[in-house]
């Protein structure tokens, strides 16, 4: 009998469509098109745009190329605009590299047109979030050690303007602050807005809740960090916008990466009670058994939950070598697996690294692999 994480296995999930596609870091779907940001291994490819109006037959309609030394593996789309990160490639260096956030007009998805580029410093922009007007950016800025939170006004998309920033005390080295950690281990990784709060993963500094009612002056609310003793850095802090068991929760995923503090346990998912947001408390977890033969660099553990929430307590999360896991969060103290989908390795690959997931309002699930593959799948289990 196949295990629940053997390649090519699934439960309560069916495959709808698939296409070979270079390794993807993020996927978003908007108005019948999927946008996929790519890793540097496939440079100079930056972003692919696919027509998914027929989900059984996704097809590539445009691809954006990159300058040398650049990685552009994150993407967001709103109002006919596509936003992509420019981050310094890890494996190649180029003196012409320019870090920042690039903006395209994709009112015609098959013909993306660059309209603006917001520049930052250092390693550039990593992850970011958008609402109807503002961008919440993980960016390196002059004078700071590691990525910080930068808030951009994007009302006029051809002229992005910074309106606010926040950093962990110790990051502003140009201002005389002295970090108590090594290098970039404490840095903004992934800010996500919900209401007047910004839920921000901060890598080996855990996650931070910020009050952004005044965008120009974000205020610290609380921080929670469990690495150490747990080895993996915090990747995403996702606010559930309704109550579970009568209380308020974050879903928090760690990430299994090379700069973790120890080999085991592999990264997993936490349920954090934030009913009193000044005192966040972890009260539940979901975890698969550690796979002792998994590749050490990016092996088996947790990565990214779906960020699109429609009122269902069923949540999808990518699990690198464990594929896609579908969880019922109705009991936040004991999340239960209700489905899974582990792809077969993509073209030219021997392993699976499921990296990102997008869930559309119609229930279709879009899954990208860090090495190769774009898949449209559907959850068929209990809701």
Provide the 3-class DSSP secondary structure of residue 297.
coil
Give the residue-averaged pLDDT of 21-41.
Answer: 97
Give the residue-averaged pLDDT of 6-17.
Answer: 96
Q: What is the pLDDT of residues 301-352, one digit of tens each?
A: 999 999 999 999 999 999 999 999 999 999 999 999 999 999 999 999 999 9
Give the residue-averaged pLDDT of 99-125.
Answer: 98
Q: What is the pLDDT of residues 142-176, one digit of tens each?
A: 999 999 999 999 999 999 999 999 999 999 999 99
- The CATH number of the domain where 167 resides is what? 2.130.10.10
Cα 66 to chain centroid distance, Å, stands at 21
The C-alpha atoms of residue 186 and residue 166 are separated, in whole angstroms, by 13
Q: What is the pLDDT of residue 203?
A: 98
Residue 179 is part of which domain span?
A: 9-24+123-379
Give the C-alpha distances (Å, rounded to integers) separating 35 from 38, 104, 124.
Answer: 10, 12, 21
Asked whether residue 365 carries a pLDDT value surpassing 50, the answer given is: yes
Asked if residue 88 belongs to a domain, the reply is no
Q: What is the pLDDT of residue 4?
A: 63
Q: What is the pLDDT of residue 2?
A: 43
Asked if residue 238 belongs to a domain, the reply is yes
Asked if residue 18 belongs to a domain, the reply is yes
Asked if residue 93 belongs to a domain, the reply is no
Report whether 115 contacts 104 (CB < 8 A): yes
Asked whether residue 102 carries a pLDDT value surpassing 50, the answer given is: yes
Contacts 24+ apart (CB under 8 A), 202-208: 202/168, 202/234, 203/233, 203/234, 204/233, 204/234, 204/259, 204/261, 205/168, 205/181, 205/234, 206/234, 207/234, 207/237, 207/250, 207/252, 207/280, 208/168
Q: How many domains does the chain have?
A: 1
Asked if residue 44 belongs to a domain, the reply is no
């Amino acid at each position: 009998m196949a295990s629940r994480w053997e390649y090519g296995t699934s439960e309560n999930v069916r495959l709808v469509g698939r296409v070979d596609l270079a390794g993807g870091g993020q996927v978003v779907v908007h108005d019948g098109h999927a946008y996929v940001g790519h890793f540097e291994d496939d440079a100079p490819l930056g972003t692919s745009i696919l027509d998914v109006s027929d989900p059984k037959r996704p097809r590539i309609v445009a691809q954006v190329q990159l300058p040398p030394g650049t990685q552009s593996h994150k993407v967001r789309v709103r109002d006919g605009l596509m936003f992509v990160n420019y981050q310094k490639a890890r494996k190649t260096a180029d003196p012409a590299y320019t870090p920042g956030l690039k903006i395209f007009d994709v009112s015609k998805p098959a013909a993306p047109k660059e309209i603006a580029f917001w520049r930052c410093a250092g390693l550039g922009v990593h992850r970011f979030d958008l609402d109807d007007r503002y961008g919440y950016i993980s960016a390196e800025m002059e004078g700071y050690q590691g990525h910080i939170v930068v808030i951009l006004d994007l009302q006029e998309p051809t002229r992005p303007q910074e309106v606010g920033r926040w950093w962990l005390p110790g990051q502003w080295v140009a201002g005389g602050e002295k970090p108590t950690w090594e290098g970039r281990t404490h840095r903004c990784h992934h800010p996500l807005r919900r209401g007047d709060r910004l839920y921000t993963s901060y890598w080996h500094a855990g996650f931070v809740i910020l009050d952004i009612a005044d965008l120009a002056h974000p205020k610290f609310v609380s921080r929670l960090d469990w690495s150490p003793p747990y080895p993996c850095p915090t990747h995403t802090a996702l606010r559930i916008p309704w109550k579970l068991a009568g209380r308020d929760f974050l879903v928090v995923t760690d990430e299994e990466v090379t700069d973790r503090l120890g080999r085991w346990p592999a990264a997993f998912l936490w349920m954090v009670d934030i009913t009193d947001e000044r005192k966040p408390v972890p009260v539940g977890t979901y975890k698969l058994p550690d796979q002792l033969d998994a590749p050490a660099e990016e092996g088996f553990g947790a990565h990214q939950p779906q960020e699109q929430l429609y009122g269902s307590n069923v949540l999808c999360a990518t699990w690198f070598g464990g594929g896609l896991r579908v969880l019922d969060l109705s009991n936040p103290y004991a999340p239960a697996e209700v489905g899974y989908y582990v792809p077969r390795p993509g073209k030219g690959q021997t392993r699976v690294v499921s990296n990102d997931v997008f869930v559309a309002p119609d229930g279709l699930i879009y899954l990208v692999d860090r090495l190769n593959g774009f898949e449209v799948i559907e959850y068929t289990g209990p809701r």
